[in-house]
Structure 1
Amino acid sequence: NFTGPSKFIAGTDFLRTWFGARKYCRQYHTDLASSLNSTDDNYLQLLSASHGDSWIGLYRDTWKWADGSNATNVPWAPGKPNNAVGNANCASLKGGLFSDESCTNLHSFFCYTSSPMRGQIIRLQVMSDGSLLDSAVQSSVLAQ
């Protein structure tokens, strides 16, 4: 079951910058956590209560999630985002609410994971009057 809290993995054994956390999440999971609905917001807020200030996959480009989707209905802390330091381009969870801050600060983080992919092997038998060693035939096969 990859819904609710099981789709979020906390990276709390070490602190990283936002970019370091994103790199780690992309290497070992899927990406930094995106909160696409109020249920996700609630789970992340509960997780952050036990893990402290934590990076999530929200960044300033008219505020988007790490997966490129637009951020709407974000539960910002009062007065946030305010870009108070002039380079507060990344978002973290602080006390269960979203806050903008410098991407170079060090925090725990939450990765998003998706359900395992199922692989499928397909065997094809190609019948042709031409030779598969012919470069034109190979190009035609590869183009499809």
Structure 2
Amino acid sequence: MEKVLLIITAAAGLCAVSSLPAHQYHLVYEQMNMTEAQSYCRENYTDLATIDNMEDVNLLNSMADLSKMIYPTYSYLAWIGLYDDVNSWRWSLSDRSFYTQEEAEFRNWASGEPNNEYGSAYCTLLVSNGQWSDVPCDVLRTAVCMDVRGSNVTFVFINNLMTWTEAQSYCRANHTDLASVRNMEENQKIMELLPSGQSVWIGLFRDSWKWSDGSNSSFRYWITGEPNGGTENCVAANFHKSGKWEDQHCGQRRAFICYSPPVSKKVVRVRLMKKSSSLDLNDPAVMEDILRELKQKLKDKGVDGDVKLSWRKQSDGKVFHKEKETEKKTT
């Protein structure tokens, strides 16, 4: 919930709290790699920046001071929280009882694989020699489904050209799922099903781009041709190109953008009427009681979260002043 800071000068009525942007951004010009920048943001703010829309982009463009981004080369780049989760490989069939720990992690990658060619290789082909390759999920290939009946597993070759997602849907509708390959014996069984030279979809896939804070924002603002790097798994905003994004090697040192919850500061002037003439509104204990009551009133009106109330003293050191009779008549 957003933080709200109210400073009250004299109180009895409450004003509404205005709506706030989702994030308060902090552009840090000290050069760090992605991991260091993430740690810094989490220690000092909330996390590396999540960017939700063009309003956020425009705000960041207005904040960026290019004169502070003069070193090193490509110095107008700043890390944001988007990264490619290259270690999130898992099987389409998610039932944990189907795998031992070793079986769930069995891989038979070809040399140099997975290499995330073109920056979008999120699905897996078993090629004709039995080794695996990561490829974009939208290429058309045949597939291998599996039927699971208790401890019995049967593999079925499907001679239809499909994307990985289409193959997954087909296998789930007509069999159990796309094939999970738990060991070399099952890998060999699948190879024996394949016509010569065929490569087939299996059920191994991974997540694509994620935000550091785990949010699900789908907004993207790539430079044309990006993302394009097989090992460029982190994202920087390029303020020399209107804040558009490009993928970068995570170990490079860049400025970076953190975010924290927004803070709204409001000064509210209202009027109190004393029921007892002997009550001293400037008594610290009385003022503290009033603050507690005001905070409860805010909560009753739906304003919760980290609400902070304080008094603003006037030049004479007092908070409350008795209203003059002429002021009462004109208000």
AA paired with 2:256? F
TM-score by length of 2: 0.32
TM-score by length of 1: 0.70
Partner of 1:104: 251
Q: CA deviation at 1:66?
A: 1.0
Partner of 1:137: none
Partner of 1:93: 237
Aligned to 1:43, which of 51, 59, 65? Answer: 59
Aligned to 1:11, which of 12, 28, 39? Answer: 28
Deviates more, 1:15-24 or 1:39-48: 39-48
AA paired with 2:215? S
Aligned to 2:211, which of 47, 58, 65? Answer: 65
Distance of 2:21 and 2:217 partners within structure 1: 20
AA paired with 2:82? L
Deviates more, 1:29-38 or 1:48-57: 48-57
Say which structure is richer in strand. 2
Distance of 2:53 and 2:59 partners within structure 1: 10
AA paired with 2:25? F
Q: CA deviation at 1:53?
A: 1.1
Greater Cα radius of gyration, structure 1 or 2: 2
AA paired with 2:37? A
Distance of 2:219 and 2:42 partners within structure 1: 25
The alignment-based identity, stated in percent, is 33
Calculate the aligned-residue CA RMSD, in Å.
2.4
AA paired with 2:43? Q
Q: CA deviation at 1:37?
A: 1.7
Distance of 2:55 and 2:258 partners within structure 1: 16
AA paired with 2:84? R
Is 1:76 the equivalent of 2:222? yes
Structure 2 unaligned spans of 5+:
5-19, 70-75, 86-207, 264-304, 309-331
Structure 1 unaligned spans of 5+:
121-144
Distance of 2:218 and 2:42 partners within structure 1: 23
Q: Which digits, 9 at most, give the CA deviation of each residue in 1:51-109, with x for residues without a partner?
A: 521001110131111111235231100100011xx310000011221000100000001
Q: CA deviation at 1:38?
A: 1.8
Aligned residue pairs total 116
AA paired with 2:222? W
CA contact (8 A) 1:76 1:97 kept: yes
Is 1:53 the equivalent of 2:77? yes
Partner of 1:130: none
